[in-house]
């Protein structure tokens, strides 16, 4: 039977949990289960099988409930559901719902995020399910929701009291929501983590205000030596839970990570490990918005317009001024290929479709980068076929740039 329809994840919010009250549940399904149950994503030997993995919304303490209508008689063909999951979740998960709900209620009062607060933002509800960003300090209202981003620093990650255990509870989301995701090696002490929470304030019956924290998502990063005393930080994993997706929280988390990296003198640049298409879009969109808000980059890049009837070309050209581009790339700590793509998109955004010379210079700039990036494959082709392949790749890139620019215009 298909597992993807039988495994349910439940995040339990204990802020409203009191005597005789029901806990608040967010129920959702995983995107992938093959890392746990195999490529076919099937479990054999049961009828009416239901697997529910509950998480306390803050501490992520877990309660596993496996139920079914019946088992087949042949024991050898029955999969051990709990035994299989046991290999991927911490051994201290709850088997009693009553004891789990006691933990949920306790966490609502006692759980606090680990690490250092690096960013706060707020949102407010609009009509329906949509929300909009509220600038810090503006539009105070009861409908405002607060979100906080915490950073667990490298070298002290596993020494932070309680974080090793916390990481073991949250890492299963990597398997369930990232294609090809896997657990990291805990014997490496250089990992750092950025975790996003929703901070809720609840008025209790006794009149006191309860502050509680609820897990939204997280990212892991790993440093590599760059040059001298600098490091290159690689963003390795990035996940936001389904109840918070498509609301801008992924962008908020990414921008908090980027701002933190820019502020650190020892970090030379940010790279991303094997990003999915969805994450590439998120990254491109936010990097473009950052550059478009950068006044100096904008003004120097595109020049002052026309003088004596002659259009003046800025530093972005085309072709772009390479030393100027490299200076900004280093200052903004963006990896080389990513920054080159961003520059190409910004040029295309302002490119005059009637300026044949500029369009040709732009085309050559993009093709030069594509040729270098795909050199090993292209050099094996005959010249005519190589040129055809390069043109085909350029057209695909050009089309994708137009799609991405539509996200920011």
Here the tokens at position 70 are 């019946």
Q: Give 335-388 pLDDT, tens digit per residue.
A: 999 999 999 999 999 899 999 999 999 999 999 999 999 999 999 999 999 999
pLDDT tens-digit profile of 381-400?
999 999 999 999 999 999 99
pLDDT digit string, tens, across residues 145-185: 999 999 999 878 999 999 999 999 999 999 999 999 999 99
Q: Does the annotation mark 273 as catalytic? A: yes
Q: 287 pLDDT band (50/70/90 cuts)?
A: very high
129 has pLDDT over 80: no
Rounded-to-integer distance, Cα 40 and Cα 34, Å? 7
Average pLDDT for 223-248: 94
Q: How far apart are CA 260 and CA 353, in angstroms?
A: 39
Q: How far apart are CA 106 and CA 23, in angstroms?
A: 13
Query: Per this entry, what is the length of the chain?
Result: 409
Total Cβ atoms within 10 A of residue 120: 13
CB 346 within 8 A of CB 288: yes
* Cα–Cα dist 263/189, whole Å: 22
Binding-site residue ranges for acetyl-CoA? 245-251
Q: Domain 2-106 sits in which CATH superfamily? A: Histone acetyl transferase 1 (HAT1), N-terminal domain (3.90.360.10)
Does residue 149 sit in helix, strand or coil? strand
Res 88: pLDDT: 97
Measured from the Cβ of residue 67, the count of other Cβ atoms closer than 10 Å reads 10
| Residue 25, H or E segment | strand 24-28
- Write down the pLDDT at residue 74: 73
Class of CATH domain 112-274: alpha beta
Strands 267-272 and 231-240: parallel
Q: Which residues belong to CATH 3.90.360.10 in the chain?
A: 2-106
Average pLDDT score over the chain:
88
Lowest mean pLDDT among 17-21, 298-302, 342-346: 17-21
Query: What is the DSSP secondary-structure string of 37-50?
Result: HTTTTB--SEES-E
Lowest mean pLDDT among 290-299, 306-315, 320-329: 306-315
Binding residues: 245-251
The CATH 3.40.630.30 domain(s) of the chain lie at 112-274
pTM of the shown model: 0.90
Q: In this structure, what token pair is assigned to residue 158?
A: 């596993």
pLDDT band, residue 75 (cuts 50/70/90)? low
In this structure, the strands spanning 7-13 and 50-56 are parallel
Type and span of the H or E element at 192: strand 192-203
Integer Cα distance of 85 and 45 in angstroms: 16
- DSSP secondary structure code for residue 15 in this structure: T
Quote the tokens at residue 49: 């099988």
Chain centre distance of CA 281: 11
Give the integer Cα–Cα distance in Å for 260 and 196. 14
The answer to whether residues 194 and 253 touch, using CB atoms and an 8 Å cutoff, is yes
Q: What is the pLDDT of residue 208?
A: 80
Strand partners, 215: 197
As given in the structure block, the two tokens for residue 265 are 């003198």
Going by C-alpha positions, the residue among 96, 113, 123 that lies closest to residue 58 is 113
Catalytically annotated residue among 273, 368, 385, 392: 273
CA distances from 251 to 135, 160, 256, 279, 409 (A): 15, 27, 8, 10, 17
Task: Tell the burial category of 128 from Cβ atoms under 10 Å away from its Cβ (0-12, 13-18, 19+).
Answer: exposed
């Amino acid at each position: 039977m298909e597992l993807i329809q039988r495994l349910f994840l439940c995040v339990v919010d204990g802020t409203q949990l009191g005597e005789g009250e029901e806990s608040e549940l967010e129920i959702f399904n995983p995107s992938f289960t093959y890392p746990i149950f195999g490529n076919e994503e099937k479990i054999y030997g049961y009828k009416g099988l239901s697997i529910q993995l509950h998480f306390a919304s803050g501490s992520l303490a877990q309660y596993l409930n496996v139920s079914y209508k019946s088992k087949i008689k042949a024991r050898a063909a029955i999969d051990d559901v709990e035994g299989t999951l046991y290999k991927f979740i911490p051994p201290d998960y709850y088997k009693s719902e009553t004891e789990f709900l006691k933990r949920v209620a306790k966490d609502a009062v006692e759980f606090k995020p680990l690490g250092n607060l690096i960013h706060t933002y707020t949102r407010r509800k609009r009509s329906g399910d949509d929300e909009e960003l509220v600038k810090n300090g503006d539009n105070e209202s009861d409908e405002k929701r607060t979100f906080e981003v915490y950073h667990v620093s490298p070298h002290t990650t596993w020494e932070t009291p309680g974080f090793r255990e916390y990481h073991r509870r949250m890492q299963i989301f990597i398997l369930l929501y990232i294609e090809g995701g896997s657990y990291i090696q805990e014997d490496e002490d250089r990992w750092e983590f950025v975790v996003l929470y929703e901070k809720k304030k609840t008025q209790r019956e006794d009149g006191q205000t309860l502050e509680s924290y609820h897990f939204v998502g997280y990212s892991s990063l790993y440093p590599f030596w760059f040059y001298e005393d600098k490091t290159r930080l690689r963003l390795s994993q990035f996940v936001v839970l389904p109840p918070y997706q498509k609301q801008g929280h992924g962008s908020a988390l990414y921008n908090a990570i980027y701002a933190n990296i820019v502020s650190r003198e020892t970090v030379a640049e940010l790279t991303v490990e094997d990003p999915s298409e969805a994450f590439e879009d998120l990254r491109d969109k936010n990097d473009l918005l950052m550059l478009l808000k950068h006044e100096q980059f904008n003004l120097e890049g595109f020049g002052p317009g026309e003088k004596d009837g002659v259009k003046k070309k800025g530093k972005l050209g085309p072709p772009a001024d390479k030393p100027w581009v490299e200076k900004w790339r280093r200052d903004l700590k963006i990896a080389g290929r990513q920054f080159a793509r961003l520059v190409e998109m910004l040029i295309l955004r302002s490119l005059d479709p009637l300026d044949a010379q500029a369009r040709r210079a732009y085309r050559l700039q993009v093709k030069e980068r594509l040729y270098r990036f795909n050199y090993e494959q292209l050099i094996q082709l005959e010249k005519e076929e190589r040129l055809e392949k390069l043109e085909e790749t350029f057209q695909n890139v050009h089309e994708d740039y137009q799609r991405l620019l539509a996200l920011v215009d």
